[in-house]
Chain A
C-alpha cells in the first residue's frame, strides 16, 4: 500500500522551476534541432513504418503575433490515464470530485477551459471515429488526441496532424527522454510528443482467483489455462497476437513474423474464444470492477491506479509488448495553441511526476523520476509500483515491439482477429 500524496505541487515552486528551465532551454533547443536533422536518414521503410508527408513548401502559416489560449480545449484520452482528485481532496472542496488536479491546475494557470474526455478505448475504434472528417479535410472536433505509435505514424503519414510549433513547447524539446527521440515515423518530433509508455501483460483479480481456488497466472500459458469465460483479450489485435506469438515461443517481430505464425496464434486462441473468452478495449476496467473477469491481457499501469488492491498487473514470463502513446493535434483543431500549451505543461517534470504517481505508466519526461521518488519520500513505493514506473532490466530485455506491420501482415492480422471476434 502506498499512500501517495496526490495534492498538486505548490504553484509557486512550479513557476520558479519553469522559469529556470525556460532560460536554460533556448540554447538546448537549437542543439536539438541540429541533432534531429542528422538523424533523419534512418528509416527502414521495409517493415511498414509510415513516414511523414513531404513538407509542403508553401509559405509557412503566417506567424500569429503572441496568440492567447482559447478554449475549451477538446482533449481525447484513454481511461485511467491521468491523475484524479482523491476523495480527501474532493472533501476539502479545493477540487471537484472526479476532476484531475493536472487539468484543473492547467485551467487556472492559463485561464482556459479544458474538456478532458476518456474517449479512446482502442486505436482502430477511435480512428474510425475521426477518419471520415479528417479524410475530407474537416475538423475531427478534437484538439489533442493520444494514439499508440503505429496509429500515430499512420495519421502523420496521411498528413492529418498539425505540425507543432516547437517554440511553444520548450519543455517538450528539452525534457523528452532520449530513447523516445528520433522515431523513424516522425524523427524530429514535428507532429507528436509521447504521453506515456507502457507494456501489455497480464492483469488478474487475486480475490476472485482465490475464491475459485486458482493460483495467480505468472505466464501467458497460465492465463490461457484459466476458464475461458473468465478471461479477456484485447481488441487491440497487435497486443493480443503479439503476446500470442510469445506464448507459442515465437518472436514477435514485424520483420520476421509470417502469416503462418499469426495463423498459429489464431488456432491457439480459437478454443478459448469458443469457450467464451472475450475481446475488450480499455473498458476491461469495468469488467474488473464488477469482478466479471479473473484475469486478462491488460496495459501495465491501469490496475495499479484502480482503487482495488486485489487487482494486480504481472509481467508474463514469456515477455511483454512495449509501446508509447503519443499526443498529437489533428488537422483543423480549433484550439491548436492551447493544445501545444498542454503538451508543454505536461512536460514540466513536476506535472509529469504528479500524473505518473497516479497512473503508474512509464514517464517520457526527463527529470520526473527523482520527483516521483521525492513525492513518495514519506512512504517509499514498493517493488511492484517501482517496477511499473521504472521497468527493471530483465523486464526491458523481454520487451517486444510488434506495431509497424507490413501491409500484408496487417491485413492477415485484421482478418484473423475479426474471425475470432465473430465479426
Chain B
C-alpha cells in the first residue's frame, strides 16, 4: 500500500513546486501589480464614480449615474481642449526638431564628452520646475525685449511675449526637451555603426544611409520621446498659468479651476477621464502607425 501511496504523494509535492514555478512570474509581478491597483486602478475607478456623481462639496457627492458632467465637459471646453492639442503638439514637434540633432551629435560625435554633454542636457533639472518657468517669464519679457521696445522703439510700447501662445509653447518646449533628447539618445547610441558603414559600402549617400538605416533604427526613441513629451505637455497647466493669459488656458487649467475653485468635482473628473481616453486613443493610433514591433526596439 505504501508503495502505491508514495508515487501518489510525490507528484503532489512536485505539483506544488510546479505550481510555484508556474506562479513565479505572477509572484514577481505582484508588488508592481499591487502598486498599480492601489495607486492607479483604484483612483481611476474612484474618479470614474465621481464623474457620474452629482452634489456639492458641502452636501457631499452621491453616485447618481448622471452623465451631465460629461455633457458639460464635452460641450463647454472645446477651446481649451484645442489649445492643449495645439500647444502640446507644437511643443512635441519642436522638441523633436531641436532634440534629434542634439541626441545625434551626442551619440555619434560626443566622443569622450558624451557624459558631460548628457549632464548638460539634464543640468537645468536640478532647479525646480516652477523656478525655471518663472525665469522664462523674465527671459521672454526681459532686458532684450525692453531694449527693443523702450530704447529703440522698434516694437510698440505694449509689446510683450508673455501672455501669448508663443510663450506657452516656448515654455512647454523648454520644460519637456530632455524627455525627448534622452530616449532619442538611447536609441541612437545603440545603433551598430557597422550597419551605416555597410549602407555606405552599398553606395548609399550619407542622406540615404540616414533615411534608410539610422532613422528607422531610431524610431523606438522617436516614439518613446514623443509620448514622454506629448502626454505631460497635454495635461500641463503651469506653463499656461505663468506664461499665458486667459485666452491660452489649457485643459489642465480647466481641471484645476473646476476642482479647486468651483469645487465641481464631477466635471473635473469627467474632464480628466476624457483626457485620459483621448491620450489612450492617440497613443494606440500612433503605435499602430509606427508599428508595435518597433516599440520593443
Contacts and interface: CB of A to CB of B under 8 A. Distances in A.
Interface residues of A, number: 28
B160 A292 contact: yes
A212 B158 contact: yes
B236 interface: no
Contact of B141 (A135, A212, A292): A292
A227 B149 CA distance: 15
User: Max chain B CB contacts within 10 Å: which of A124, A276, A292, A420?
Assistant: A276
B141 A422 contact: no
Interface of A is mostly: helix
Interface stretch (B1-9, B192-200, B252-260, B289-297): B252-260
B274 interface: no
Interface residues of B, number: 30
Contacts of B80: 422-423
Contacts, number: 74
Contacts of A125: 260-261
Contacts of B66: none
Interface of B is mostly: helix
A21 interface: no
A414 B264 CA distance: 11
A276 B163 contact: yes
Interface in A54-100: none
Nearest to B257: A423
Contact of A278 (B134, B245, B258, B259): B245
A279 interface: yes
A278 B246 contact: yes
Contacts of B146: 291
A273 B247 contact: yes
B195 to A, nearest CB: 50
Contacts of A286: 134
A420 B57 CA distance: 23
A423 B162 contact: no
Interface string A268-296: 00000110111100000010001110000
A286 B146 CA distance: 17
Contacts of B256: 423
A279 B246 contact: yes
A180 B164 CA distance: 44
B157 A274 contact: no
A128 B260 CA distance: 5
B57 A277 contact: no
Nearest to B240: A422
B6 to A, nearest CB: 61
Interface string B226-267: 000000000000000000011111000110111111110000
Contact of A414 (B134, B162, B249, B262): B262
B150 interface: yes
B262 A420 contact: no
B246 A213 contact: no
Nearest to B79: A422
B246 A290 contact: no
A277 B137 CA distance: 16
Contacts of A418: 257-258, 261-262
A213 B157 contact: yes
A211 interface: yes
Contacts of B78: none
A125 B249 CA distance: 17
B151 to A, nearest CB: 10
B163 A422 contact: no
Interface of A: 124-125, 128, 131, 135, 211-213, 227, 229-230, 273-274, 276-279, 286, 290-292, 414-415, 418, 420-423
Given A230-B160, A422-B248, A422-B253, 15 more contacts: A128-B261, A211-B150, A211-B157, A229-B163, A229-B245, A273-B247, A278-B245, A290-B137, A291-B146, A292-B160, A415-B262, A418-B258, A418-B262, A422-B247, A423-B253
6 contacts: A124-B261, A128-B260, A276-B164, A276-B246, A422-B253, A423-B253
A-B pairs, 5 with minimum CB distance: A423-B257, A422-B249, A128-B260, A212-B157, A422-B246
